[in-house]
Structure 1
Amino acid sequence: MSFKFGLNQLVEIHVSGEFGAVKARAEYANGSENGYYVHYKAGDGRAVTQWFDESDLVMVEAEEAPGQPIYGSTELPKGDVVQ
């Protein structure tokens, strides 16, 4: 079974509308659906990391390129700054 979401890809938690980045993925020998360890900001402002089933997640798309996934970066390239 292949993975629907990539590492560091931004995903939305379908039921809550919160979004975060995929930090780990798991596949299971018993045929269960893939799992994703997602780091996100919860509605109450806390940083949370939790496992979700693949069917609980939706791809976050780039507005300027519908259908294209967005990947978060963990480090900025040398010389770049956040504005």
Structure 2
Amino acid sequence: MKKEQNGSEIIPMAKDYKFHLSQLVNLRISDEWGEVQARAQYLNGENQYLVHYQAADKCATERWYSESQLVAVEDDRSPGMPVFGCVDLPEGEKVEG
């Protein structure tokens, strides 16, 4: 941390996260998609996201990705709105494909 002459500290501005925990994201490099499980901020680098997804070989996996490697999953009925994973659907609801 740098200090000014009057002794006060200069604190770097935190970068906002682009994606939320439990948000569904697409991997830019493939057709794979997954759920954000964790996030990390770095002073001198891009925000990172731990994404849990099913890889092309059909195995469940998780890996850290840079923010620029991800794009938000969108529902055609609500463009621009984030989509979140859920464990249990409300009673009477079903997933549409």
Structure 1: which 5+ residue stretches go unaligned? Answer: none
Answering whether residue 48 of structure 2 is matched by residue 41 of structure 1, we say: no
- Alignment of 1:64 with 2:64, yes or no, is no
Q: Secondary structure at the match of 2:84?
A: coil
List runs of 5+ in structure 2 lacking aligned partners: 1-14
Other-structure match for 2:11: none
The Cα of 1:50 is off from its aligned counterpart by 0.4
Q: In 1, distance between residues paired with 2:93 and 2:56?
A: 24
Which is bigger in relative contact order (C-alpha 8 A, separation at least 6)?
1
RMSD: 1.5
Q: Following the alignment from structure 1 to structure 2, what is the Cα–Cα distance between the partners of residues 82 and 47?
A: 25
Q: How does 1:1-83 map to 2 (within 5 A)?
A: 1-29=15-43, 31-77=44-90, 80=91
Percentage of matched positions with identical amino acids: 45
Q: Which has the larger radius of gyration?
A: 2
Aligned partners of 2:87, 2:52: CA distance in 1, in Å? 12
**TM-aligned CA deviation for residue 73 of structure 1:** 1.2
Cα distance between partner residues in 2 of 1:64 and 1:7:
22
Letter in 1 for 2:40: A
Q: CA deviation at 1:74?
A: 2.9
Normalising by structure 1, we get a TM-score of 0.87
Shift of 1:53: 0.3
